[in-house]
Amino acid sequence: MKTKILLVVIMICCQIHSQEQEWTLSKSYKTSIDLTVNYLDGTTVKQRTALAGLKYKYKETVDGKVYIKFLKIIVSTDPKKDDDSFVNSTNDNITYFVESSKLNALHKQKTSSLVSGTLLAPIKIRPDENVNGVNYPWELSTDISLGQYLGYRFPLSRTNPYYITIPTFTLGTSLLSINSSNTTPEKESSTTLGLTWSTGIILDLNGFNVGLLVGKDYAPGQAGKDWIYNEKTWFSIGFGISLTSKNKDL
């Protein structure tokens, strides 16, 4: 039963697709970096810079342009109140607009979000185990695990695509090396396909994904009963890989 549940969850995770940014009228957003915004002065389109940290609300999307209204800026805390090239306390009452593709990309890159992706754990450290009075030393194993992860990603930089995903939860499969040195009673060497889960953190540095993981493997049938590391904790360094796409915002 446990195996069936894990397989169902894995299949669900693999079917998740990224979604386009959906704007909500009642929700406020915040500029995460300095943002160039447009406005109309008569029939002329002009530009101002909105400093990072300004809050705004979505009004509408028309012809590929997102129209926004900044929340009231307090004069006493406004560093740009005398500079009309910036959005400030003297001009925050008008409607501005930004190309939707630009604002959507910025929003998706620079805000925290739920993400999914594929994670590879090529090696594992298995701590020592004591079974029936016999001590088995720690093992550096090449039992490769491949799975689909879910996690919540937070930006680490306002200007660079650096993120941390924490916590992550991964479900997948492992190729398990079963042999005489890790079974009781001793068994001949074989390779078994097992299930695995893990949790941890993932760093995303401009598309390069590396993580620290802790998890457990589950071998099926008699192999699981004989294998001393069945359902025991392991530690690993994992790598995000691209099978069809990079990690996805959900």
Per-residue pLDDT of the chain (250 residues; tens, 9 = 90+): 444 444 444 443 443 333 445 677 767 888 878 889 999 999 999 999 999 889 999 999 999 999 999 999 999 989 999 999 999 999 999 999 999 888 776 665 556 778 889 999 999 999 998 888 888 888 899 999 999 999 998 888 766 778 899 889 999 999 999 888 888 887 888 889 999 999 999 998 878 899 999 999 999 998 889 999 999 999 999 998 754 444 555 5
Among residues 49, 75, 109, the one where a domain terminates is 109
The two structure tokens encoding residue 156: 């680490």
Residue 126: its pLDDT value, please? 94
The two structure tokens encoding residue 108: 């998706």
168 and 101 in a common domain: no
Distance of alpha carbon 173 from its chain centroid, rounded? 20
168 and 57 in a common domain: no
Q: How far apart are CA 52 and CA 39, in angstroms?
A: 18
Tell me if 122 is assigned to some domain: yes
The two structure tokens encoding residue 74: 């307090």
Tell me if 22 is assigned to some domain: no
Q: What is the pTM of this model?
A: 0.56
67 and 123 in a common domain: no
Beta bridge partners of 90: none
- Rg of the chain over CA atoms, in angstroms? 26
Among residues 78, 109, 140, the one where a domain terminates is 109
Beta bridge partners of 153: 113, 165
Determine the Cα angle at 178 with ends 177 and 179, to 5°: 115
Burial class of residue 242, CB neighbours in 10 A (0-12, 13-18, 19+): exposed
124 and 104 in a common domain: no
Residue 13: its pLDDT value, please? 41
H or E segment and range at residue 119: strand 113-121
Among residues 81, 109, 137, the one where a domain terminates is 109
* Residue 24 DSSP one-character state: -
Distances (CA, A) of 106 to 15, 30, 71, 112: 25, 11, 19, 12
DSSP reduced 3-state for 183: strand
User: Which residues fall within 8 angstroms of residue 169, CB to CB, at 6 or more apart?
Assistant: 149, 150, 151, 197, 198, 199
The two structure tokens encoding residue 3: 């195996």
Number of domains in the chain: 2
Cis peptide before 122 (omega within 30 of 0): no
Tell me if 17 is assigned to some domain: no
144 and 92 in a common domain: no
Q: How far apart are CA 129 and CA 139, in angstroms?
A: 10
